[in-house]
Amino acid sequence: MQNKSIPLEADALGAPYPVIHRRLLHWVEEVAALCQPQQIYWCDGSPAEYERLMAAMTASGAAIRLKQKSNSVLFRSHPGDVARIEDRTFISTHHRDDAGPTNNWIAPDELKRTMTGLYRGCMAGRTLYVIPFSMGPIGSPLAKIGVEITDSAYVVCNMHIMTRVGRGVIEALGADGEFVPCLHSVGAPLRPGAADIVWPCAPLEQKYISHFPEENLIWSYGSGYGGNALLGKKCFALRIASAMARREGWLAEHMLILRLISPTGKHYHIAGAFPSACGKTNLAMIQPTLPGWRAECIGDDIAWTHIGPDGRLYAINPEAGFFGVAPGTSVRSNPMAMATLRANTIFTNCALTDDGDVWWEGMSPAPAHLIDWQGRAWHPGDARPAAHPNARFTVPAVQCPVISPDWEKPEGVPLDIFIFGGRRASVMPLVIEAFDWDHGVFLAATASSETTAANVGAVGNLRRDPFAMRPFCGYNMADYFGHWLAMGDRLGDRAPRIFYVNWFRKSAAGKWLWPGYGENSRVLAWMCDRLEGRVGAQTTPIGRLPEPTDLDLNGLALPTENLHELLRVDANEWQAELSDIERHFTCFGARLPERLRQQVINLATRLNTV
Ligand code: GTP
Ligand code: SPV
Ligand code: MN
């Protein structure tokens, strides 16, 4: 590996390509002076670079090569660094109200002072990597550029897969292009001669995932994991981008994008927002069980959408890979994900089989012996899971057998349908069609879900997760609701139709009522048929639901009582729900748009008239 030792060269700080962007060079120099790395390395995004870094991490014991999967590795994180950490995530704006009640807030001066103290000397003994990356295809009018500085080679390799990295980005930047500076350190300086540990990170109270949306700046410290460290993803493409999108009149959303093709060959583009670990990757790669229907994947986690010249809403996937939940992924539940993972994959916190492959809960019957995600022997029946519940895979999107030929189309795909949803064992029916845009925004703004292992903290607690953006909105959520209402006004009759789904309703005995996965195509087909005016619905106080006979359930052995329960709207339950929605909205105070207040009144009125 070519590296330049500091003191730094005045020109391009050792970059393997010409860098003429003075602001970028200055920033790298400034960060190096603060963090005191042993050396600086500019990433070129090449396969050779990836291989060199992986070889070094394999040699050091940080990565384990998988015998059964070509060019694939397993990492085991520190047991305290396994997921996003919402409690340590901050939106730092000058006025606290601009971050809003759903975000943690520290004033920019104070936060920068604290973090500068942490960053001082934090890269001692380590390499400072400069990663120029593009969110969206390089050159797309909708793409945006970031530069991540990190001291983690794991982050570099993951960024190779999740974004477009390298020289082409520097060329696109030119002398004075816009970029989002993304500073990351694992927060574990190495004393001279000290040996590294396999997953360096800082203690929880020193972890900070900080965003300064008023200056498009990201500072992350102390964690090496996923959304905390791969700063193009949640930090840039959602938190910073959502604030940019509001200023610039577009939307940055926590959404999968898929193309559903009807038996007659008509294309429907669907974008769906579900909270973390609530089914986006699975829906994005759906294999419809309904005869004649097909699907193509465009993205599994993030959508950037703009109003096009024809007045419709167009979506791109700003990412280049999938950072997906491993547990629950199987040939039965998500065969396309399993096929995607055949090679060139980074696995994190999965279990290791004796023959050198990965395993996780829900993949297949458990082998008789495994090494668990913490490197300990594991046997079926052990109390702890073999894979961490938030174990993940990082894999190039192009490897997905059903990736759409149009997934990198620079202008994106025109959206027909928005789906919102969450994970709720009761109350929420299988599907609701919104009466209109405002009602759809209301359904999304009041979305609720049980918490999952994607965040460090309790699992299974019910909370409101508006638009599946509660952890990802870079500004006041009430203003975000207002922005959605304004976008609806601009879109008028070209706006996508809005639906709400819940694949996760359970019986009194705690069993899933709906088979989910590929069978979700039956619900998607109902939505498309609604757009065409081809299928019926019943009007209920909470929205339009299919009559049992409106869903195509041919070939599905769904007990009648399940269907009844999936579509049941209980007046008493919804009175309680209404009270909880009112409580949820109270926290936004006067900033809550009047039109959403009106939606609460409308729901109350409809409930009282049944
Ligand atoms: P993030 O990457 O955290 O944003 O998650 P995601 O929304 O992409 O969730 P993903 O598709 O990875 O699903 C998370 C878990 O939910 C997995 O264990 C899936 O097996 C499970 N799951 C997904 N879809 C369904 C479904 O239709 N029914 C049921 N019962 N489980 C599902
Ligand atoms: C999520 O938590 O919604 C994820 C995983 O997609 S992470 O990148 O860690 O945020
Ligand atoms: Mn996600």
Angle at 172 (CA atoms; ends 169, 174), nearest 5 degrees: 115
For the stretch 274-284, pLDDT in tens is 999 999 999 99
Quote the ligand 3 centre to 275 CA distance (angstroms): 7
CA dihedral 440, 442, 445, 451 (to 10 degrees): -80
Angle at 414 (CA atoms; ends 409, 415), nearest 5 degrees: 130
Ligand nearest to the CA of 325: 1
Distances (CA, A) of 150 to 127, 129, 182, 408, 438: 8, 5, 8, 27, 42
Closest by Cα among 150, 177, 134, 128 to 45: 134
* pLDDT the model gives residue 338: 98
Active site residue 278: yes
Architecture of domain 11-62+84-249: 3-Layer(aba) Sandwich (3.40)
Quote the ligand 3 centre to 278 CA distance (angstroms): 9
* Six token digits for residue 255: 């959404």
How many C-beta atoms lie closer than 10 Å to residue 526's C-beta?
A: 22
Yes or no: say if 256 and 284 are a contact pair by the CB < 8 Å rule.
yes
Angle at 558 (CA atoms; ends 553, 560), nearest 5 degrees: 100
Closest by Cα among 304, 194, 291, 348 to 521: 291
- Domain ranges within the chain, ordered by starting residue: 11-62+84-249, 252-319+406-608, 322-399
- Counting from 1 in the atom list of ligand 1, the atom nearest the Cα of 284 is 11
Quote the ligand 1 centre to 449 CA distance (angstroms): 13
Cβ-based neighbours of 249, under 8 Å, separated by 6 or more: 307, 487, 490
Quote the ligand 3 centre to 189 CA distance (angstroms): 30
Q: Looking at 122, 157, 201, 278, which residue is catalytic?
A: 278
Residue 282 half-sphere exposure toward CB, CA atoms < 13 A: 23
Cβ-based neighbours of 144, under 8 Å, separated by 6 or more: 134, 135, 136, 178, 180, 236, 241, 244, 318
Which amino acid residue places its CA nearest to atom 1 of ligand 2? 276
* pLDDT the model gives residue 9: 43
Please work out whether the CB of residue 393 comes within 6 Å of at least one atom of ligand 2: no
Quote the ligand 2 centre to 129 CA distance (angstroms): 23
- Counting from 1 in the atom list of ligand 2, the atom nearest the Cα of 392 is 5
Residue 281 half-sphere exposure toward CB, CA atoms < 13 A: 25
* pLDDT the model gives residue 610: 59
Which amino acid residue places its CA nearest to atom 5 of ligand 2? 227
Gap between the Cα atoms of 366 and 386, Å rounded: 9
Query: Ligand 2, residues 301, 395, 472: which to mutate, most atoms within 8 A of Cβ?
Result: 301
- Counting from 1 in the atom list of ligand 1, the atom nearest the Cα of 333 is 20
CATH number, domain 252-319+406-608: 3.90.228.20
- Counting from 1 in the atom list of ligand 1, the atom nearest the Cα of 517 is 27
Please work out whether the CB of residue 454 comes within 6 Å of at least one atom of ligand 1: yes
Which residues of the chain register pLDDT less than 70? Answer: 1-12, 610
* pLDDT the model gives residue 320: 98
* pLDDT the model gives residue 51: 98
For the stretch 537-562, pLDDT in tens is 999 999 999 999 999 999 999 999 99
Which amino acid residue places its CA nearest to atom 8 of ligand 2? 227
H/E element, 229: helix 226-229
Quote the ligand 3 centre to 254 CA distance (angstroms): 6
Which amino acid residue places its CA nearest to atom 24 of ligand 1? 279
Gap between the Cα atoms of 107 and 308, Å rounded: 37
Gap between the Cα atoms of 584 and 477, Å rounded: 12
Closest by Cα among 407, 245, 386, 249 to 315: 407
Yes or no: say if 394 and 226 are a contact pair by the CB < 8 Å rule.
no
Please work out whether the CB of residue 226 comes within 6 Å of at least one atom of ligand 2: yes
- Counting from 1 in the atom list of ligand 2, the atom nearest the Cα of 325 is 5
CATH number, domain 322-399: 2.170.8.10
* pLDDT the model gives residue 14: 81
* pLDDT the model gives residue 98: 98
